[in-house]
Amino acid sequence: MKSYSAEPVRTPVLNAVKSDGFSSARSARLHPGTSPETQAALRHLKPRFLEGLTPPQLKSVVAAAKQVRFQANSMVIYQDHPAQHLYLLLTGRARHFYVTEKGKKVILLWIPPGEIFGFATFMPLPTGYHVSSETVKNSSVLVWDRATIRSLTARYPRLVDNALYLILHYLAAYRAAHMSLIVGSARERLAYVLVSLASEIGDKVQGGFELKVKNEELANEANVTLFTASRLLSEWQRRGMLLKSRGKILLRSPELLLRYAA
């Protein structure tokens, strides 16, 4: 849900030869979309993109996909490259980002399991991806190529309705993210970012939610300086609301943090 953090780009994404990670990921392993693992994941996730399909229609759509595995920190979609595949995240975690002309990596929305990405693939005329997408955990996805997904949407218009709903959901998320950056104090913004990320990408563990995130990422997402973020995190740790370690934060009570920061 959160957006707008910036960090240096480690890889020259725009100079990549391949159009997306499905084309280039050497570590990816392909399986038929109807594998038992896929079926179990879909039953658990109930993706909104597949809502309203009859069992035969659902079987047809899933059977037309391939299941691909990506290791953590793998590129899936490259910004400005031809939109050739649509992805549905089954397991793991991913995120969108944008590379500025000066080479800064701007983190956009996080992608939880059950969500699709690569919307440009739906367009009637070939176009490019507007943003890049990468995994942040070991992940598996269902993948449809452009010709296949466009054929399926022609046969099953409900897929188009579902995609439009998801686009509106993305717009609402960006609106909320933008508003969180321009209202409230630095303390409130950082607390809101922490709680939002904990619910979206955190792992429920004993004692709270464990979140793998750097101080720099939190600072950029909350639109505060690194010094301010570090100072507030240290204060909240002293008060027992969270526990910091290298590259990780254990958020003990999201509700308490929001009340204290208000």
Residue 174 domain-assigned (yes or no):
no
> Is 223 a domain residue?
yes
Same-domain pairing of 101 and 212? no
Tell me the CATH number at 107: 2.60.120.10
201 and 157 housed in the same domain: no
**pTM of the model as a whole:** 0.73
**Considering the domain boundaries, does residue 172 fall inside one?**
no
Residues 189 and 139 in one domain: no
Domain stop point among 146, 161, 176 = 161
Q: What is the largest CA-CA distance in the chain?
A: 58
Both 91 and 209 in a single domain? no
Q: Are residues 49 and 142 in the same domain?
A: yes
For residue 135, the enclosing domain spans 5-161
Query: Tens-of-pLDDT digits for all 262 residues of the chain?
Result: 444 333 333 333 333 334 576 654 544 555 666 678 788 889 889 999 999 999 999 999 999 999 999 999 999 999 999 999 999 999 998 999 999 888 888 888 889 899 999 999 999 999 999 999 999 989 999 999 999 999 999 999 999 999 999 998 888 777 767 776 777 889 998 998 888 888 777 888 988 999 888 888 788 778 888 999 999 999 999 999 999 988 789 999 888 998 888 8
Same domain, 25 and 111: yes
Number of folded domains that form the chain: 2
Which sign, positive or negative, has the C-alpha torsion 154, 158, 162, 165? positive
Report the C-alpha gap between 184 and 179 in whole angstroms: 9
- State residue 33's pLDDT score: 65
> Does residue 179 lie within any of the structural domains?
no
Using only C-alpha atoms, the chain has a radius of gyration, in whole angstroms, of: 19
Residue 27's pLDDT is 43
* Residue 34 shares a structural domain with residue 99: yes
Cα 58 from Cα 110, distance rounded (Å) = 26
